[in-house]
Structure 1
């Protein structure tokens, strides 16, 4: 089956990573999947023309009902949609967007939500299409590379302790940008760390917004990042060079994707694919 896959492919974003993972699973099942950035298209008519090209696409998938799903409204082949957090947390608040999202959900062969809560909220805010919405949690597996040394890794982030094994390390993986603002977490965690110094937070991910990254680093430092001979603070920095030296985290995951066909749909089981996180942030 030849499938068109539309998603917002901003570099290093969660959408981009998820889309690449799903595309890989679809292709591993023997299908052809062309992943395209939704921002490339100005209208659903453009997508309809693309789908009808020779050889034509036999189905389509989109992440985000409004950002990408609306571009599938004019195609003449079955398609499915995957809910994004923006759909329910933001876009449903705008009446014009909500109406379009309902149209997409009505026409879609199926819809996928990553959590039960997301499905429940979709049923509240959009026209009830419970029979179409399937909950398929994203699975993430983490494992250390062979050369990875946990003790040295923590020291390189600024965390120092006599006994690393006694630390309670919380690892937050996220690209630093304002829409994914971790500042409130850093502030609250610092207070928690003051109560129990064994609780340590490490944030790792790409510096998507350099200006905002500086702000996060400043807050982390003001919260008491350790200086020479000092006890570790609640929030720690994971710098890029730490990961470049081979002390990298490998991220993998699995997502099952429903594939629509001519008059039928089935389920494709996905396998885990490792992905190296080669950049770090505060």
Structure 2
């Protein structure tokens, strides 16, 4: 089966990594899967020529109901969709976007939510048959680069020589120009905070391994692969207490949650001073990922769902 896969593909982002992993699952079952960036298309008509090329696409998959799924509405292809955190955390607040998302969900042959809570929220705010939404957590598999050095981040820090641990390094691509400018302005005024460009996944995992903890301060999250990767690498996690994070971080067991800057400092100090706590969250986090975020299970789920699309093309 020749499948079109639409997703937000800013390089070296969580969306890109997730899409590439799912694409590999589909192709390992013998299908052809072409991954395309939603930024390349503005309307369903923009996709029409691509979809009808020879040989034509026989089905489609999209991550994010609004950002990507809306582009499939007018196409005569069986398709499935995968919920992104933005769908339920942000886009449903906009009535026009919510209506489009309901249309996408009604037409989709299936939908995938990363957590049971995300499925429940989707069923509550969007009109959809319950049996259409499946729950499949992200599969996690980490790989650490053999060589990695922090020198470029630390060379200008005077206080670093006094206390090696008090460093916050923010690594990631500049996706949102306005937010990037705001962060850069704040960091210039902050002591001990450094910005670093995005790295390959292997280099990022190597950076995590050299950290005392990984912090997720997001105010809107579906399922953070960075949190799960840190757990898999046996690195403690400090995460903002929002639904997407709390779904995978059990406070004091698999990581630590905070709701304010003051609480972040308090939980960080606990982690530094309590070796037993640190060992517990590291051990429990690793076990949690092994039990609930199997790449093998994820592969089997998506291969089974794509089979639904394969069968649907003969019924259309």
Aligned to 1:232: none
SS of equivalent residue, structure 1 residue 9: coil
Map of 1:184 onto structure 2 = none
Residue of structure 1 in register with 2:170 after alignment: 203
- Which 10-residue stretch deviates more, 120-129 or 16-25? 16-25
- Matched residue, 1:109: 109
Per the TM alignment, residue 211 of structure 1 is displaced from its structure 2 partner at its CA by 6.7
CA RMSD of aligned residues (A): 3.6
1:249 aligns with 2:204: yes
Q: C-alpha deviations, 1:82-130, integer Å up to 9, x for none?
A: 1112211222122222122111111111101122222121111101332
What is the TM-score with the length of structure 2 in the denominator?
A: 0.56
Q: Could you say what secondary structure the match of 1:139 adopts?
A: coil
The residue that corresponds to 1:84 in the other structure is: 84
Report the TM-score when normalising by structure 1. 0.62
Cα distance change on mapping 1:91 and 1:214 into 2, 3 Å: closer
Q: Pick the structure with more helix per residue.
A: 2
SS of the residue corresponding to residue 62 of structure 2 reads: strand
Structure 2: runs of 5+ lacking an equivalent:
207-224, 230-294
| Structure 2 residue aligned with 1:263 | 311
The structure with the greater share of residues assigned to strand is 1
Residue in 1 that maps onto 2:194: 237
CA distance in 1, matches of 2:75, 2:204: 41
CA gap 1:218/1:21 in 2 versus in 1, 3 angstroms: same
Q: Which moved more, 1:40-49 or 1:86-95?
A: 40-49
- 2:191 equivalent in structure 1: 224
Q: 1:203 to 1:157 in 2, by over 3 A?
A: farther
- Any idea what the Cα deviations from partners look like across 1:21-80, whole Å, max 9, x if unmatched? 322332233211112223333433453554343322221101111222122223333210
Cα shift at 1:209: 5.2
Q: Alpha carbons of 1:153 and 1:114: their partners in 2 closer, same or farther (altered >3 Å)?
A: farther
Q: What residue ranges of structure 1 are gaps of 5+ in the alignment?
A: 168-196, 226-235, 266-282
